[in-house]
Structure 1
Amino acid sequence: MPLTPLSPYTLPSSPSALPLPSSPTQKFFLLFLAPEDQATGESWCGDVRAALPVLRRVLGGSGGEGDGDRDVLWE
């Protein structure tokens, strides 16, 4: 299943309120990304620009080839 961004996503006030997987062995990723520059359509942060294509490919976002069993909240 491809990665689908949940945006906007509001973080809960406490980490204990995060929607964690039911299985303790299931992986859970929460990514904090810098917003896109409206003029360029890309993140203003160079680290995010460098990492985002890799994250999408590995985690299955934007038609990538991820393993499909990971749930990721994109913001």
Structure 2
Amino acid sequence: MVDRLSEDERISLQTELEHLRQEHRDLDAAIEALLHLSTTDRLQVQRLKKRKLVLRDRIVFIEDLLTPDIIA
């Protein structure tokens, strides 16, 4: 699939990928901080974890687009 992408598309996807990875790391930190509070808002933690899963799915999708197909 990577051979079908233009250079601009590839750069755009790589930029988005880095942004998503950073947001994923930030959510990790936010969840960890919330869990260490004595009054943890479980609903908020659930929402953050769900957002993290959505980000992970998008990250995997973009990584697949950027990885060349290997014919075995």
Give the TM-score range, shorter chain.
0.3 to 0.5
Structure ranking higher on relative contact order (CA contacts 8 Å, 6+ apart)? 2
Question: Normalization by structure 2: what TM-score?
Answer: 0.34
Question: Normalization by structure 1: what TM-score?
Answer: 0.33
Structure number with the higher helix fraction is 2
